[in-house]
Amino acid sequence: MSKRSPSLLYLARGSSFVDLEEDYLIGASTIRSIVKETCTAIWQLCKNACFPAFNEERWLEIASEFYRKTQFPNCLGAVDGKHIRLKMPPNSGSNYFNYKSYFSTVLMAVVDADYCFTFIDVGAYGKHSDSNIFKNSNLEKGISSGSIPLPNNHNLPNDENGNPMPFVFVGDEAFAVSNHVMRPYPDRNLSPKQRIFNYRLSRARRIVENAFGILSNKWAIFQRSLNVDMKFAITIIKAACTLHNFVRKRDGIHFEDTLYSCTFEDIPPVGVRGTDTGIETRNYMANYFTSPQGSVPWQYNQI
C-alpha cells in the first residue's frame, strides 16, 4: 500500500482515521501516523516549488495578471483570513475560541490572479482579527524589514502624468488601510466615487474568496473539525494548500463548480484607523477609477 493513498483520501474525502481503518484494514493509530508523515513530506518537499520566493519580476507578473483579469492596477495579491475548525486545543484557554463560539485557528493567505496561494500563515489564535494576524505575519514583517522588497511605486495605467502609486494587496473590511493594503471605504453615506472604488476593489478581492472556496470543496477535510493536536493541524493545512497550488498549476483554472461555495467562516471587521499614506493612496485610486484614464464602461451599472 502506498502511504499516499490513505493520506490523500483523508484530505480529499474528509475521511476520519476510523473510516480509513476500515478501508485499509490497518489500525487508526497507524493511519494517523501515515497521514502525519505524508503531510509533513508534502510540505517539506514541495513548498519551495509551490510557494516560490518573492522577487521583483514575480511581483510584477502577479500585478500584470491582476490588472488584466480584474482591472485593478498595482495589485500584488488578494489577502484574507479564514477560520479552520479545531477540536479544543489543550491548555489553550479561550485563545482559539472565536466569535462564532467554536475553536479554530486562522489560515491567512495571499493569492495571485490564478487562485494560487502565494503566501500562507497558519496557526494564529481564532480570537484574533485579520488585521492583527497580517501585521504579525512573516510577509508583513519581511516587507517592513526590507527582506521581502516590493516593487518601486509606479504610475497607474494611462496615468503617465500622475503620481506614482505604491503596489498594494487588496483586502476586506477586516484589514486596516495602509501603505500597501487597500480595503473598501466604510459602507455608510458613500459618494459615487467611493462606491466605484469599492466595486473595483471587490473585483480583485473576490479572487481570494474563490480560492478559499476551491480549497474547501476540493479538500473536504476542511468541511469538519480537525480532530488532531495543533501542530498536526498546521501540518495538514500547509499540505492541503501546497496540493491546492500543485493541482491548480497543472489543471488550470476551469473549475467554476467550486468557486462559490465555501465552508470557512470569515473573520469579523474591526474598526482600525489606517495610515495617512494608505488613505491618500485609496483616495487617489478612487479619483483615478472615475477618470477617463482609469474608468471601465460597465462600472457605473454596478453601484
> Of residues 267 and 158, which shows the higher confidence score?
158
Phi then psi dihedrals of residue 122, to 5 deg: -125, 140
Helix, strand, coil percent values for the chain (each to nearest 5): 50, 15, 40
Please state which of the ranges 73-77, 82-86, 199-203 shows the lowest mean pLDDT: 82-86
Q: Which three cell numbers stand for residue 301?
A: 451599472
Whole-number pLDDT of residue 71: 97
> Is 34 a member of any domain?
no
100 band by pLDDT with thresholds 50, 70 and 90: low
Whole-number pLDDT of residue 96: 56
Residue with cell 516590493: 150
**Mean pLDDT over the full length of the chain:** 87
Whole-number pLDDT of residue 287: 98
> Is 270 a member of any domain?
yes
pLDDT in tens, 10-33: 999 988 888 888 888 888 899 999
> Is 106 a member of any domain?
yes
DSSP state of 32: H
Decide the pairing of beta strands 168-170 and 75-85.
Answer: parallel
Length of the chain: 303
> Is 39 a member of any domain?
no
Enumerate residues 6+ apart whose C-beta is below 8 A from 127. Answer: 94, 95, 96, 97, 98, 99
Question: What's the structural domain count of the chain?
Answer: 1
Which domain covers residue 57, as residue numbers? 53-227+254-302
> Is 16 a member of any domain?
no
> Is 221 a member of any domain?
yes
Residue pair 75/169 in contact by the 8 Å Cβ criterion: yes
> Is 77 a member of any domain?
yes
> Is 6 a member of any domain?
no
Whole-number pLDDT of residue 68: 98
Please state which of the ranges 96-100, 102-106, 196-200 shows the lowest mean pLDDT: 96-100
> Of residues 63 and 251, which shows the higher confidence score?
63
298-301 long-range contacts, Cβ below 8 Å, gap at least 24? 299/196, 299/199, 299/200, 300/196
